[in-house]
Amino acid sequence: MNILVTGGAGYIGSILTEELVANGHTVVVYDNLVMGHRAAVHSKAAFVEADIADTGVLTRTLKEHSIEAVMHLAAYTSVGESVANPEKYIQNNYVASVSLLDAMVEAGVTRIVFSSTAAVYGEPKKLPLTEEDETSPINTYGESKLAVEKALWKYNENHGLRFVALRYFNVGGASLHNGEWHDPETHLIPDILNTARGKDEILEIYGNDYPTPDGTCVRDYIHVKDLANAHILALNALDDFSGVYNLGTGIGNSVREVIEAARRITGAPIPVKFIERRPGDPAVLTASAEKIKRELGWKPQDDNLDKILGSYWLWLQNNPNGYDDKV
Ligand code: UFG
């Protein structure tokens, strides 16, 4: 199939592109390189450097490459930033996504896999979260993604657009070729391993007074390769139906547990200090992934912290400057 991957030069998009190419698909990476890296674009993919808000370029790209499905990952993804600067998230994650849907309708493209998030749930009333649970985001990041999900249902009803929205929980790990590299970095696993290798002096832990066993937030960490694989299953299911799936493992790990695992794997002491809670952080987020396992046959292979941390640690050893010294 001819597939457009928005955000294909980013962390998850680049690894998804690897999997798509390995499965015989023809990929066009569409990325404005604000967060993505030119060196992360797969050598077998075509590359269009543009913004999804640029409807003219987008519609032309869909038509010229005879795109049959879109995988829409391009977005800003920092929970804290979305609280501090909500307009950025409304504009880029929601408004621009709707213009992408319009471009698809205009070009006659009827399939989309959308990167949604666990942040759509807000503070859970029960755990693990299922797709039927109430959505009540507590940050603009989650709101912006939920608004796109709602738009997808409308475009489904009114334009026959078929979609799968994948609600990612906490994605980590690396492939041999690509890994997470943001500037500034706000995500826990890169922050921990950057402290382990001395790039950062100390890891700041946001809060130790959450209602969790050790006082730090609990999250459900999923390996990026398992996540990429779920997109391929979603793509294959799009002929039959539209729907929403959680992508997590059901296993919760606290911030302290992730740090302990990283100390074990790296042998580094990883100094930490506790600071105030970060606004917009729910105490616990864990997924029930039964629906995607049952309906799409998803089988995570690397669903443990050691494999997630180990693969990213290896990538950092091989790429100490990330993409900064590559062209
Ligand atoms: N944290 C720290 N110190 C850091 C970084 C993070 O204590 O330096 C804590 C956070 O407060 C949070 C946990 O580690 O409790 C995980 O934080 P991340 O920023 O790594 O991830 P989030 O849970 O905030 O968000 C991530 C993705 C979102 C996704 C969400 C779903 O960034 O896109 O998981 O759970 F929606």
**How does pLDDT run across 244-260, given as a tens digit for each residue?**
999 999 999 999 999 99
285 lines ligand 1 (CB under 6 A): yes
User: At residue 215, what are phi and psi to the nearest 5 degrees?
Assistant: 85, -10
Question: Looking at residue 327, what is its pLDDT?
Answer: 73
What CATH number does the domain containing 141 carry?
A: 3.40.50.720
Secondary structure (3-state) at 250? coil
Asked about 141 being catalytic, the answer comes back as: yes
Query: Does 280 score more than 90 pLDDT?
Result: no
Beta strands (DSSP E) in the chain are: 2-6, 26-31, 46-49, 69-72, 111-117, 162-168, 170-172, 203-206, 218-219, 221-223, 243-247, 253-254, 272-275
- Residue 108 to residue 230: CA distance in whole angstroms: 25
Give the pLDDT confidence score for residue 303 in this predicted structure. 77
Single-letter amino acid, residue 19:
E
Q: Which domain holds residue 119?
A: 2-172+221-248
Beta bridge partners of 162: 111
Would the CB of 258 count as within 6 Å of ligand 1?
Answer: no
Residue 239 predicted with pLDDT over 90: no
Contact status, residue 98 vs residue 56, Cβ threshold 8 Å: no
Tens digits of per-residue pLDDT, 70-106? 999 999 999 889 999 999 999 999 999 999 999 999 9
**Position 59 in a domain:** yes
Task: Provide, rounded to the nearest whole percent, the portion of the chain with pLDDT above 70.
Answer: 100
Look at ligand 1, atom 27, and give the residue with the nearest C-alpha: 170
What is the rounded average pLDDT of the residues 192-204?
97
Average pLDDT of the residues of the chain? 96
Point out the ligand 1 atom lying closest to the alpha carbon of residue 258: 14
- Residue 142 CA: nearest ligand 1 atom is 36
Please check whether residue 207 lies inside any domain of the structure.
Answer: no
Ligand 1 neighbour 191 (Cβ under 6 A): yes
- Per-residue pLDDT tens over the stretch 103-143: 999 999 999 999 999 999 998 999 999 999 999 999 999 99
Q: What is the pLDDT of residue 176?
A: 97
Q: Is residue 164 part of a domain?
A: yes
In a domain, 110, yes or no: yes
CB of 180 closer than 6 angstroms to any ligand 1 atom: no
Q: Whose CA is nearest to atom 2 of ligand 1?
A: 205
Residue 62 lies in a domain: yes
Whether 255 is in a domain gets the answer: no
Q: Is residue 313 part of a domain?
A: no
Using a 6 Å cutoff on CB, does residue 169 contact ligand 1? yes
Structural domains in the chain (count): 1
Quick one: which atom of ligand 1 is closest to the CA of 187?
A: 20
Residue 27 lies in a domain: yes
Give the least confident one: 161-170, 213-222, 302-311: 302-311
Dihedral through CA 185, CA 187, CA 189, CA 191, nearest 10?
40
